[in-house]
A and B are shown apart, each in its own frame.
Chain A
Amino acid sequence: MKPAPFDYYAPDSVEEAVALLERLEGEDVEAKILAGGQSLMPMLNLRVARPDALIDLRKLDTLKYIRDEGEVIAIGAMTSKSDAEDSGLLKQQQPLFQHASYLIGHRQIRNRGTVGGSFAHADPAAEYGAAAMALGIEMKIVGPDGERVVAAEDFYITFLTADIDSTEILTEVRVPKMAPGTGWSFQEMARRDGDLALAGAAVTLRLEGGNCSEVRVAVFGVNGSPARIAEAEQLLEGSSPADELFRQAGKAAAAAVDEPIADVHGSGDYRRQLISVLVARCLAEAVERAA
């Protein structure tokens, strides 16, 4: 379990890193960005990833921040997940994102793993995927042609694949603040505390005149990418909250899941069942928090 040989670079700035990526691409050298290494290092050790070069972003302190930008909280890609977990700003103004951070792995992993790394890695079981969908998070990506901003819906492509070109770097995620009065919930089922989830759900909603509105339901862990579930949202939108309705929404969400993953931890049917239960439970909790 030792990696195959690779060249190693640790650029001092984003510009330098992008230039390096571009140069290596031109030379037909396969390069990979190294952030916290919590996903990439095991892949290197198992030789499932074998890039010719690693570009380590560890010197990019400029990408370590959690900033209040009014409507939005901007988080630098190299911010550790434990910093996100500990952030007072997130706790107060975006508790769903804060809680999602807390649910990732164990504290040791959150200490080293970065926020940007999680988004870029696009593991379908990553909590941030559901958070991105439910909250409408945007990604700021820098490449040879400058900067672009991608919406969550367009960012996730499939298993371990996000809309980041091989010469680009994810530099920031932009998380909208949670409007006061919003009810939210984030729940998942993992075999053990800290494991990647078999399935999970994130919900935000508001109550207007006793009826649900602005309902967002996102699920993750069940198939290639996190997804919003319009079928569940529509059932709730404008309706008065009730357990039976939550159950129906859960069923609708489960039915909307395409090709659920089956592995040693659970069958596809079982994962669908989890979605059904978790969505219903999230809705109930979100309503409770909104009320």
Chain B
Amino acid sequence: MVRDIPNSPDMLPITSTRYVGKAVKRIEDPALVSGTVEFIDNYSVPGMAHCAMMRSPHPHARVLSVDTGAAEKMPGVYAVLTGEDVKKWCNPMATSPEGWGAYCLAVDKVRFVGEPVVAVAATSRYVAEDALELIDVEYELLPVLVDPHKALEADSPTLFEENKTNVIQDRSYTWGEIDQVFSEADHVFTEKFRWNRCGANPMETFGCVCDWDTVNDYVTCRGSYQTPGFMALGRAGSFNLPSNKIKVISHPHGGSFGGKGGPRGTEIAALLSRKAGGRPVKYIEDRVEYLLAGAGQSWDRYYKASIAVKADGSVSGFKVDLLDDQGAGSEGWGTISVAKPLAAFTGCYRIEAAQYNMKLVVSNRAPTFAYRGYGPPPHNLVLESLMDIAARELGVDAAEFRRRNYIQPEQFPYTIPSGNEYDSGDYEAVLDKVLGMADYQALRAEQEKLRAEGKLVGIGVASTVEPGVFDWNAYSTVGVAGVGVPEGVKVAIDIMGQITVTVGFSLEGQGQYTLAAQLVADYFCVEMESVRVAYAATDVAPPHFGPGGSRLGVAMSGAILGACQKIEDKFAQVVARLMQTEPGNVELMDGHMRVKGVPGAEMHIAQVAGTMLNRSDLLPPGMEPCPEATYVWTAPNRNQPDDQGRCRSYLTAANACHVALVEIDPGTGVTDILKYFIVDDCGTRLNPATVEGQIQGGVAQGVGAAFFEEYVYTEDCQPLVSLFSDYLLPTIHEVPIAAKGDVVTPSPVAPLGAKGCGEGAIHTTPATLMCAVNDALFPLGVQIRETPMSPNRVWTLIQQAQ
């Protein structure tokens, strides 16, 4: 029997939900925050070796010779791994587009400062680092490719010489009659923007313990993996191993945000283990390694963008030219973040035509990786800034201008020019609510008053759409042709009525284990304490992807509900047989399997499970005595992209509107965030506390991107940032605790009506803050178009104005 996954909590088999939709306390947090879970650095096994890596001090150089003799002889050293070994035993990373992947250790040349060149496994990290000092590497320096604009020129130094170019991709998509729209427009506004490199910085860096069973050629990798199944498949490819000869075990970890990386560190540790005869090798990336060459750098972008506006204030066209500096290859799927904006290219607005010209190039900066949001934060900053520019020129209030252009509630499902279909929304309701919370008119009045006193006070209003539940098809632009991303769970009920949910992803802080327990507890009407969520390693886990692309809450809900339904169907058959009726007459309600219309004819789910487990003789013929089920959910109705990249990609479209009030100190250029308001609509809020946490965390990262975080390089591609004293993460002192409100427009197509909600705030915050800063600067006649809006940058602009 095939059933639809319920798209509303009312459809759960319980009179009224006790957990779903409630801000229940998270079951996994106490262990995570008290450190009693097994973080990878706390894991050790007897005889384990420790890895340290020698890294390139040069941005671009040929490796002439590597002398490891003295290091190999040093007491305590088990193995030294070089590019020669890696060339023999491993393939270049397949996470880059074909031809742009590097090996895990430099082979023949280095392309960025911090690229691992030699790795050592020794009795301790101390000894391993001592051994590195005995290694001699001779380099021949090569000309450095610093400026991505130069990468487009034929005579620029080539990083991947066999490709004879530094351009990974140069592609243009046109959606609708863009030329006509722009020529018929009453106004066209064009502006350039620079988004400087920033990225994920989870509390815990990457770490792993790998062992290579050299007898059976079986590799086990434990570590802080965000997407374990994916990691296992990828490593099988790297090591030329059959896919069933590698097992990845993801340990609970301290955040990820796309920045965990892992391929490089895992390959190095595993190959060291192989070279050390199978001894397990631990690699814990330290923060300097992370900041120089980990997976923390993203979005190094130059934009030129235009919007076409009609006299009545309606926006009809949007054109974006993007030059994206991927760094020395894009081993961390860095290219995908250029494609992601297709899922919500024109934001909340009824823009009929659009164009996207993408140039992705390499340079001798570190490779770029995924970062929460995966590309839209800079894109939204560009679109929202242009909306403000247009509003100002037309003399319309920023909030009003947006309102006029919103997609209307009755227009959903709405297909945007770049092809994605938005499921539902009520953008005006969200806007109205946030303006009400902010008392927008009063705020504007206050601003006028303060401006008259000479203060630089600004208000930013920004609206965005957050695509939720990613699908590979969104990334066809960068050569990923697949459709469908699975999430599978197994639900099993034991003889005492206790329920175990087995999942393929581990803890990293978003509260999914709690959500799993909430759903199962309400489905079968048991206490949440009766539900345990168990992690399964890749060799036994159901197909899964894990957290990423604002998907896991929704995807996992689908999987859990599907599995629960399968159990319910099985139970109906068992109960029908026991009570001598048809399965169709038996239904689950409030934890009991009831025969419809026969009061008292019912069995508690624990009784059914117990019967199945203990009395297989009573079961319908051929039924396995297993009160359990596995279900793998993928987003329905996704399709292959056309030649302009258009497809139904992300399943859900959440929406948010932020309002910020800022004040700039003209003497120092320091911006203070005085007030911050958010209303968001992510459909059904399965656990409002978790949604709030996701939003507040996204605000923090947005504040970081807007004002603090930047990977700075010198004119010759030397990184200037390798410590947290230089890469500035905002702290509790810098991040406003936003006043938050909600609007709930359930998704008609997603499980329980919930939409992806993990990325919306980082999508919106930088745009809001840039709009606010520019509003503050407006009376001076200067505007900022570059992130982060550091005090020095803002002050320099103020100087120019005077």
Contacts and interface: CB of A to CB of B under 8 A. Distances in A.
Given A1-B286, A264-B721, A277-B667, A192 B792 contact: no
Given A189-B670, A192-B708, A2 B725 contact: no
Nearest to A262: B792
B710 interface: yes
Interface residues of B, number: 30
Contacts of A4: 129-130, 133
A192 B130 contact: no
B206 to A, nearest CB: 14
Contacts of B790: 191, 265-266
A5 B728 CA distance: 31
B125 interface: yes
A267 interface: yes
Interface in B544-583: none
A273 interface: yes
Interface stretch (A29-37, A80-88, A111-119, A193-201): A193-201
A193 B734 CA distance: 8
Nearest to B125: A2
A274 interface: yes
Interface string B770-802: 000000000000000000001110011000000
B616 to A, nearest CB: 58
Given A2-B125, A2-B129, A264 B720 contact: yes
B126 interface: yes
A44 to B, nearest CB: 11
Contact of A192 (B125, B126, B728): B728
B792 A46 contact: no
Nearest to B707: A191
B668 A277 contact: yes
B795 A270 contact: yes
B332 to A, nearest CB: 22
B288 A46 contact: yes
Given A195-B725, A195-B728, A2 B795 contact: no
Interface in B291-337: none
A263 to B, nearest CB: 8
B792 A265 contact: yes
Given A264-B721, A273-B795, A192 B733 contact: yes
B710 A274 contact: no
Interface string A171-187: 00000000000000000
Interface string A233-277: 000000000000000000000000000000111110010011001
Contact of B731 (A189, A194, A263, A270): A194
B285 to A, nearest CB: 10
* Contact residues of B: prevailing secondary structure: loop
B795 A192 contact: no
Contact of A194 (B130, B720, B733): B733
Interface in A3-23: 3-5
B712 A1 contact: no
Interface string A132-170: 000000000000000000000000000000000000000
A192 B731 contact: yes
A248 to B, nearest CB: 15
B731 A266 contact: no
A238 B493 CA distance: 87
A274 B728 CA distance: 19
Interface string A71-83: 0000000000000
B734 A192 contact: yes
Contact of B791 (A1, A2, A191): A191
A274 B796 CA distance: 12
B85 interface: no
For B287, B670, B708, B791, the residue with the greatest tally of chain A CB atoms inside 10 Å of its CB is B791
A266 B795 CA distance: 10
B697 interface: no
A192 B731 CA distance: 8
Contacts of B708: 191-192
Contacts of B728: 191-192, 195, 265
Interface residues on A, range: 20 to 34
Contacts of A3: 126
B456 to A, nearest CB: 14
B730 interface: yes
A189 B734 CA distance: 14
B126 A2 contact: yes
* Contact residues of A: prevailing secondary structure: loop
Nearest to B52: A2
Contacts of B670: 189
A274 B734 CA distance: 20
Contacts of B710: 264
Contact of B733 (A1, A193, A274, A277): A193
Contact of B730 (A192, A196, A273, A274): A192
B446 interface: no
A281 B733 CA distance: 22
B140 interface: no
Interface string B630-666: 0000000000000000000000000000000000000
B153 interface: no
A5 B720 contact: no
B726 interface: yes
A264 B130 contact: no
Contacts of A266: 790-792
Interface in B113-140: 124-126, 129-130, 133
Contact of A264 (B125, B133, B667, B726): B726
Nearest to A1: B286
Given A192-B731, A194-B733, A274 B668 contact: yes
A194 B668 CA distance: 17
B758 to A, nearest CB: 25
B506 to A, nearest CB: 26
Contacts of A2: 124-126, 129
Contacts of A189: 668, 670, 791
Contacts of A47: 129
Nearest to A274: B668
Contacts of A5: 126, 130
Interface in B693-726: 708, 710, 712, 720-721, 725-726
Contacts of A1: 129, 286-288
For B667, B792, B796, the residue with the greatest tally of chain A CB atoms inside 10 Å of its CB is B792
A267 B796 CA distance: 10
A253 B792 CA distance: 19
A267 B793 CA distance: 10
A264 B712 contact: yes
Nearest to A267: B792
Interface in A42-79: 46-47
Interface string A210-250: 00000000000000000000000000000000000000000
Contacts of B129: 1-2, 4, 47
A166 B498 CA distance: 68
Interface string B89-133: 000000000000000000000000000000000001110011001
A2 B50 CA distance: 12
Contacts of A264: 710, 712, 720-721, 726
Contacts of A191: 708, 728, 790-791
A34 B669 CA distance: 38
Given A1-B288, A192-B708, A273-B668, 19 more contacts: A1-B286, A1-B287, A2-B124, A4-B133, A5-B126, A47-B129, A191-B790, A192-B728, A193-B734, A196-B725, A264-B726, A265-B726, A265-B790, A265-B792, A266-B790, A266-B791, A266-B792, A270-B791, A270-B795
15 contacts: A1-B286, A2-B124, A4-B130, A4-B133, A5-B126, A5-B130, A189-B668, A191-B708, A191-B791, A192-B708, A263-B720, A266-B792, A270-B791, A274-B668, A277-B667
Interface of B: 124-126, 129-130, 133, 286-288, 667-670, 708, 710, 712, 720-721, 725-726, 728, 730-731, 733-734, 790-792, 795-796
Ranked nearest first, the 8 interchain pairs of A and B with the lowest CB-CB distance are A193-B733, A277-B667, A1-B286, A2-B126, A266-B792, A270-B792, A264-B712, A264-B720
